[in-house]
Amino acid sequence: MMTTNKPITFSIKNLDLFYGEKQALNQIELPIYEKEVTALIGPSGCGKSTFLRVLNRMNDLIDSCVIKGDVLYHQDDIYRKDTDIIELRTKVGMVFQKPNPFPMSIYDNITYGPKCQGIKNKQVLNEIVETSLKQAAIWDEVKDRLKESALSLSGGQQQRLCIARTIAMKPEVILMDEPTSALDPVATAKIEDLIVELKKEYTIVIVTHNMQQAARISDKTAFFLMGEVVEFGDTNHMFSTPKHKKTEEYITGRFG
Ligand SMILES: Nc1ncnc2c1ncn2[C@@H]1O[C@H](COP(=O)(O)OP(=O)(O)OP(=O)(O)O)[C@@H](O)[C@H]1O
């Protein structure tokens, strides 16, 4: 049962993905709803990260990767030949497992992308820095040290900085690949609170190994197993009354 009337941002249909001979995704059908958090869960190697990378064509960087089926972003097939990939990756930003700030100042980390887009006005850049850092809930911690190296921040702060860097590009969707797995519980809690706050403005798709995290922060959950989506639906329903035996076994920790 689904309880959303939200518009659909991504609609994935009949998606097959191969790395050479090996099929990593098999007939995936999924909607991603606007301004919701969609969690992708499942055991190691089931295809969660592969699926996440499909959404902004990060798999293009892998030579052996072949994709069949439809990946519609606002009705537009992003795998069309004439898709502007830079624009796609601006609209569909990504945050990785390990915080990966550039080896430059906090300020320059945020302005790097906007400057590449041609924004030169200092005042505009200052505003982008302040708004992005505020939205990523790290402004108060860094506002007096913007010229310091981003590498001087703690792991949790670096990850929030990376989220701010993504926000600075004014995306619509933020993809997150296990964004808290390298962080301690306190830093993790801050990122989780932040994700819940961010979904007011952004559509978020997150890969997580942490069942409690999926249950706490997501609206929808997709359970992947061996390249297939076994179950998809409202997180509350899936965690209270899973439809499939495999889902139940996974979320209760019986395998994984
Ligand atoms: N670049 C690649 N080349 C070949 N095979 C790959 C590549 N990336 C992933 N695979 C294979 O595709 C399958 C799905 O991998 P993927 O990383 O998407 O799984 P996952 O569910 O995200 O796993 P984990 O939770 O361990 O990160 C695995 O069998 C993996 O070995």
Q: If you write DSSP's letter for every residue of 14-64 in order, what string do you get?
A: EEEEEETTEEEEEEEEEEEETT-EEEEE-STTSSHHHHHHHTTTGGGGSTT
Res 17: pLDDT? 98
At 153, give phi and psi (nearest 5°): -80, 160
Domain positions in the chain:
8-251
Query: What is the ipTM for the molecules in this complex?
Result: 0.96
Task: List b or e across 145-182, with b for residues whose CB sees 16 or more CB atoms inside 10 angstroms.
Answer: ebeeebeebeebbbbbbbbbbbbbbbbbbbbbbbbbeb
Tell me if 209 sits within 8 A of 28, measured CB to CB. no
Q: What number does the ligand 1 atom closest to the CA of 42 have?
A: 21
Percent of the chain with pLDDT over 70: 98
Mutate to test the pocket of ligand 1, among 48, 51, 55 (most ligand atoms within 8 A of CB): 48
Residue 3 has what pLDDT?
Answer: 67
Residue nearest to atom 1 of ligand 1 (CA): 62
Q: From the alpha carbon of 59, which atom of ligand 1 is closest?
A: 1
Question: Does the CB atom of residue 242 touch ligand 1 within 6 A?
Answer: no
The tens digit of pLDDT for each residue in 13-51 reads 999 999 999 999 999 999 999 999 999 999 999 999 999
For residue 137, pLDDT beyond 70: yes
Query: Band of the pLDDT at 254, cuts 50, 70, 90?
Result: confident
In the predicted model, is pLDDT for residue 1 greater than 70?
no
Half-sphere exposure at residue 168, Cβ-oriented, CA atoms within 13 angstroms: 28
Q: What does the block give as tokens for 45?
A: 């190697």
* Domain 8-251 indexed as CATH 3.40.50.300: yes
Question: How many residues can be counted in the chain?
Answer: 256
